[in-house]
Amino acid sequence: MAIVHSVEIDEEAPGGGICSYDPVAYMTEGCPSPGHFDLSVEYDGETYFFATAANRDAFEANPRRYVPRYGRLPR
C-alpha 5/C-alpha 46 separation (Å) is: 23
Type of residue found at 1: M
Rounded mean pLDDT of 52-72? 89
The pLDDT of residue 55 is 97
DSSP-H helix ranges across the chain: 23-28, 53-61, 63-66
The pLDDT of residue 62 is 96
pTM of the complete model beyond 0.75: no
C-alpha 37/C-alpha 16 separation (Å) is: 10
Q: What region, left, alpha or beta, does residue 29 occupy, with left being phi > 0 and alpha being psi -120 to 50 degrees? A: alpha
pLDDT digits (tens, 9 = 90+) for 9-61: 444 445 566 788 999 999 999 888 999 999 999 998 899 999 999 999 999 99
